[in-house]
């Protein structure tokens, strides 16, 4: 769910400027990169801030205040949820669902660079906007047996959809020699971005591949990814659909956090099912 707020950035700049990673200005692109790739780059493209919402009353109706958080963890009010989104957010935040929310705020607009029709570097300045992305997830970290984990997956509508597709093709799959899928060559790289007035940020990027014994056909594979230790505990388990072509498909993970507050992650992978594509 994405919310857009048009604001004057200078109202908040003195409170959040320490959070900006200067290397991301114009996303690190040189003029030569912009001209060669014919791209349009905004001033703070790729910079992510934490955000949150809080229930309130606005115009005598239930609403939610939207906040941006600086590197010190201080909150600054940047707007209200549009009236048309209130009911949807209220449904997601229903206590009976037991879901938690993660908010990400991005600054868009401002100074921009792009390659003009004449092949020269052009500059323009647009109105600043705060783009707020809200994600809701299940953060239940209590011990669960296999039956409980399976029940947790079944509660997600997109897993139901995948299972329906799998069951439709199960009869045809049984007539053929079942392919074998394995996760191989998975490795994690570490990147550190240093700040002058704040804790350094650590990024862990994991990459690997799903290898299939059948290299003549292509498959859509449903894999369960579980964070066993370290990493970012906000998303400790999720599923991913991976396209396997000519016997191989790519799988990736991403974790980030402040230095001293995050350790190198360890993952377990489980193949839940697959279908053969035409």
pLDDT by position in tens, the chain (length 278)? 556 666 656 666 666 665 654 444 566 678 888 888 888 888 777 777 888 888 899 888 899 888 888 766 778 888 888 888 888 888 887 765 677 788 888 888 778 888 888 888 898 888 878 888 888 777 654 444 555 555 565 555 565 576 667 666 655 555 556 889 999 999 999 999 888 777 888 999 999 999 999 898 999 999 999 999 998 776 688 899 999 999 999 999 988 888 888 899 999 999 999 998 87
Neighbouring C-beta atoms of residue 81, cutoff 10 Å: 24
DSSP-derived secondary structure letter, 7: -
The helix or strand, by DSSP H or E, that contains position 153, with its residue range, turns out to be helix 146-154
The b-or-e profile of 126-147 (16+ CB within 10 A means b, else e) is eebbbebebeeebeeeeeeeee
CA distance 52 to 65: 8
> Is the distance from CB of 245 to CB of 220 less than 8 angstroms?
no
The helix or strand, by DSSP H or E, that contains position 39, with its residue range, turns out to be none
């Amino acid at each position: 769910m994405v919310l857009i707020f048009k604001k004057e950035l200078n109202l908040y700049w003195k409170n959040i400027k320490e959070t900006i990673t200067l290397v991301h200005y114009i996303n690190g692109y040189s003029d030569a990169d912009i001209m060669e790739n014919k791209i349009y780059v905004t001033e703070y493209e790729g910079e992510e801030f934490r955000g949150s919402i809080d229930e309130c009353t606005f115009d005598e109706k239930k609403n939610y205040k939207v906040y941006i958080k600086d590197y010190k963890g201080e909150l600054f009010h940047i707007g209200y949820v549009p009236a048309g989104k209130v009911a949807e957010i209220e449904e997601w935040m229903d206590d009976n669902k037991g879901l938690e929310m993660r908010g990400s705020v991005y600054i868009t607009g401002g100074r921009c660079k792009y390659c003009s029709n004449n092949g020269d570097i052009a500059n323009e300045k647009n109105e600043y906007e705060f783009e707020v992305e809200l994600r809701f997830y299940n953060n239940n970290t209590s011990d669960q047996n296999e039956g409980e984990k399976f029940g947790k997956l079944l509660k997600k509508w997109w897993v139901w959809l995948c299972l329906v597709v799998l069951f439709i093709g199960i009869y045809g799959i049984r007539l053929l020699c079942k392919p074998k899928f394995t996760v191989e060559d998975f490795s994690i790289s570490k990147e550190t971005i240093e700040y002058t007035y704040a804790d350094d940020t650590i990024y862990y990027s994991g990459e690997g591949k799903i290898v299939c014994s059948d290299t003549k056909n292509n498959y859509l594979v449903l894999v369960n990814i579980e964070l066993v230790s370290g990493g970012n505990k906000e998303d400790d388990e999720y599923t991913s659909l991976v396209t396997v072509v000519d016997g191989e498909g790519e799988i990736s993970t991403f974790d980030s956090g402040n230095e001293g507050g995050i350790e190198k992650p360890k993952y377990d992978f489980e193949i839940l099912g697959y279908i053969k594509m035409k």
